[in-house]
Amino acid sequence: MTVPPGSIIGIIGGGQLGRMLGVAAAQLGYKCHIFDPAEHPPAADVAAFATRAAYDDADALRRFAASVDVATYEFENLPVAPLDAIGAKLRPGTRSLAVAQDRAVEKIFIEKCGARVAGWRPVDSLDDVRAAVSQLGLPIVLKTRRFGYDGKGQAWIRSEVDVEAAWSAIRETPAVAEAGVDFTAEFSVIVARWGDGRHAFWDSPENGHRDGILHLSTVPAGAAIRAQVPEARTAALRIAETLGHVGVMTVEFFASPAGPLVNEIAPRVHNSGHWTIEGAATSQFEQHIRAICDLPPGTTDLVSRGAEMENLIGDDIARWPELVAEAGVHLHIYGKGEARPGRKMGHVTRLVR
């Protein structure tokens, strides 16, 4: 059912993704209500309403649900059960969250959808880790099943002597052991899906990471990636359809010699799609609003020959005076407080004319 402009969109999570969703929603005439436990979430600066409450506060979620016409989320480490209080107003639904927030559940699901992942084993003990090393070979990376992001909750095992240190580095938490992929490049498929199955892709960006955190996203991607995009799109769409996902979903891939391997699913708008704000006819943020409000899909073509998005992480934000003075650059500052190491403070996009 169409949620018309003038309605109120609830956004659970008030980080930079919520902030950019809020700007896109406002352009289409919606008002946003942010739900976040923080005192000054960046998204609240651009929203009509904000609730400060814990993500597992079912009463607060119920009041929030009653105050909005449709609700969505921009953060995936939400406790799932309390979201039942929101019911059918929540788009995408909780299934997308439940699958994406546990790396073991996610990998089983991806394989069920016919897509490929790197060799992996669930590990719950040091003995499991040792068994995984002998079955998968080296190197492998341990990733906690839950609450890992931007390389957090991960430890590499490059030789047998690293096993114990890696297991203790992830605090002996239930994890997956994943074979190290000798990838050519990394890329993502960003897709928006409507409840009736309509969908739209953007050009797939090539993603470069620094210290496990996205640093650069570039479109168009190189030839090695472009050759793998058709198979990757088929996989991403099958994942979105099987989840019954409504809204934007991002699937991160390794372009490996054996073809595209799924790294992970983000059931939401994604950092590797920020370039779409200026680089595509419809941004991922506007498209997400269109999909959850059941407005027609916008076109997703590039508006120039290409685009490059660079994240401003930690102290990078101190470069803002030179960036804001650079001709043609699109500077985004997220309005966060302290520039801690590893914290995403803003980004810039440069179009290739």
Under the rule (CB under 6 A), what is the footprint of ligand AMP? 118, 141, 143, 148, 151, 178, 180-181, 186, 209, 212, 252, 263-264
Cα(67)–Cα(217) distance, integer angstroms: 37
Q: Give the residue nearest to ligand AMP (CB).
A: 181
Q: Which is nearer to ligand AMP, 158 or 209 (CB)?
A: 209
Q: Which is nearer to ligand AMP, 50 or 262 (CB)?
A: 262
Which residues, 6+ apart, have CB-to-CB distance to 18 below 8 Å? 11, 32, 34, 36, 41, 42, 43, 47, 74, 75
CB of 163 to ligand AMP, least distance (A): 17
Q: Which is nearer to ligand AMP, 186 or 206 (CB)?
A: 186
Q: Which is nearer to ligand AMP, 60 or 181 (CB)?
A: 181
CB of 264 to ligand AMP, least distance (A): 5
CB of 312 to ligand AMP, least distance (A): 18
Q: Which is nearer to ligand AMP, 176 or 246 (CB)?
A: 176
CB of 316 to ligand AMP, least distance (A): 19
Q: Which is nearer to ligand AMP, 212 or 244 (CB)?
A: 212
Q: Which is nearer to ligand AMP, 58 or 216 (CB)?
A: 216
Cα(246)–Cα(291) distance, integer angstroms: 6
CB of 198 to ligand AMP, least distance (A): 28
CB of 149 to ligand AMP, least distance (A): 6
User: Which helix (H) or strand (E) segment is 256 a member of?
Assistant: strand 247-256
Cα(76)–Cα(101) distance, integer angstroms: 6
Cα(113)–Cα(237) distance, integer angstroms: 10
* Residue type present at position 109: F
Look-up: residue for tokens 């058709």?
230
CB of 2 to ligand AMP, least distance (A): 35
H helix runs in 137-182, sequence order: 163-169
Q: Which is nearer to ligand AMP, 145 or 245 (CB)?
A: 145
Query: Crossing angle, helix 103-112 and helix 229-243, to 10 degrees?
Result: 110
Identify which of 222, 159, 239 has the alpha carbon closest to the alpha carbon of residue 187.
222
Burial class (CB in 10 A: 0-12, 13-18, 19+), 69: middle
- Facing residues of 320 across strands? none
CB of 154 to ligand AMP, least distance (A): 6
Cα(333)–Cα(197) distance, integer angstroms: 35
First to last CA, the chain: 39
Q: Answer whether 119's CB lies under 8 Å from 136's CB.
A: yes
CB of 113 to ligand AMP, least distance (A): 18
Q: Which is nearer to ligand AMP, 61 or 229 (CB)?
A: 229
Cα(16)–Cα(346) distance, integer angstroms: 8
Cα(26)–Cα(38) distance, integer angstroms: 22
